[in-house]
Amino acid sequence: MPLHPLLSPSSFLILATLLTVLAICFQLVRGKLAIWMQEEQKMAETQHFVLPDQRQIAYGIYGAHNTTSTVFYFHGSPSSHHEAFLLSEAGQRHNVRIIAPSRPGSGGSTFREDGTLLDYPDDILALADHLHIAKFGIVAVSAGAPYAFACRRRVSRSRLVGLGIVAGIYPVASLGTAGMKFPSRLMLWVAPWFPGIVAWLIDKQLGTVARDDDEKKMEAMLVADMQHASTPQSEKLAWDNASTKVRRAVVTSVREGVRYGGRGPAWEMGLLGSHWGFELDEIQPIEKGELIMWHGDIDANVPLAMAEKAAAQLGTHTDLRIVGGQGHGTLTLHKADEIIESLKTRLG
């Protein structure tokens, strides 16, 4: 990934970056507010695992606990392992345990200097070994998708038995960003070259609020952003109908995702905007059901056309399920039971 800390951007670029990245900080979290009504569930206690290189992974366990059927949940961005709370009820109904790790720099997990997408599978395998998980599936939401594909690239099919990609982002370096909101496109361009600027802006705009003792300030910021004209009405209604605990989970996932600073989310945007280190046609599924992609037809964060291009590269065994009337943020919970049940089938 190109990183050039000695470059001196023009004053125009600096001004454009400051204005657009501030706007993007809100757009990135808007999707987190689009949640569906669920029954009351308990937030999982955060647990920690120390990797061989002494970095720490923060994670939570949701869904059913007394089962060997296990799915890893890869959260969006900026977010953290608390986001998996939103699938906890579906996990309980289908007797599936959901292990949700926070990625480096978010949620209490140690930031990894110069980490790549293809480094991440080592963390997941170490955690799986620690928890004595012989085989597992992955549900990846939004920015979690590239990490799931990296795991598919490096983990054997006998161990990683299935992927469920929900409103995922796909390789913009090869597929382009046509149809994506301009601020999002600009973020994906700026972050690979100027991660320090993006990190500072994320921390200034969101991190300071996340570290405030008054948790309601973050919720007020996110709720105010929900009033933006570009937010689908279905997502606003979902938020209005959500239980108190679900709202708290959404706010907590974003708050914990940025309270440790902006380096993690900024580096992640840089990875997503660069070449991933592999091509999609290298990880084609070999049978139906191994890879399912759910995508809303009114998703403005990641346009449906991008998912269709990705599905074509991933081959004929890829199952792209287009969901009518759904945007970026509501899809996970709108299809919660279908997602978990599909992965449960792969687990046997």
3-class secondary structure per residue, the chain: CCCCCCCCCCHHHHHHHHHHHHHHHHHHHHHHHCCCCCCCCCCCCCEEEECCCCCEEEEEEEECCCCCCEEEEECCCCCCHHHHHHHHHHHHHCCCEEEEECCCCCCCCCCCCCCCHHHHHHHHHHHHHHCCCCCEEEEEEHHHHHHHHHHHHHCCCCCEEEEEEECCCCCHHHHCCCCCCHHHHHHHHHHHHCHHHHHHHHHHHHHHHHCCCCCHHHHHHHHHHHCCCCCCHHHHHHHHHCCHHHHHHHHHHHHHHHCCCCHHHHHHHHHHHCCCCCCHHHCCCCCCCCEEEEEECCCCCCCHHHHHHHHHHHCCCCEEEEECCCCCCCHHHHCHHHHHHHHHHHHC
The pTM assigned to this predicted structure is 0.88
**The domain 17-347 belongs to what CATH superfamily?**
Alpha/Beta hydrolase fold, catalytic domain (3.40.50.1820)
Return the pLDDT at 21: 52
Residue 292 φ/ψ, nearest 5 degrees: -120, 130
Q: Could you tell me whether strands 136-141 and 160-166 are parallel, antiparallel, or unpaired per DSSP bridges? A: parallel
Token pair for residue 252? 């907590």
Return the pLDDT at 341: 97
Return the pLDDT at 34: 47
Return the pLDDT at 300: 84
Distance separating alpha carbons of residues 166 and 20, to the nearest angstrom: 26
Q: Could you state, in order of their start, the residue ranges of all structural domains in the chain?
A: 17-347
Return the pLDDT at 61: 97
Per-residue pLDDT of the chain (348 residues; tens, 9 = 90+): 443 333 344 444 444 555 455 455 555 555 554 444 344 456 778 999 999 999 999 999 999 999 999 999 999 999 999 999 999 999 999 999 999 999 999 999 999 989 999 999 999 999 999 999 999 999 999 999 999 999 999 999 999 999 999 999 999 999 999 888 887 888 899 999 999 999 999 999 889 888 988 888 888 887 777 777 666 676 777 777 777 887 888 889 899 999 999 999 999 999 999 999 999 999 999 999 999 999 999 888 899 999 999 999 999 999 999 999 888 888 888 899 999 999 999 998
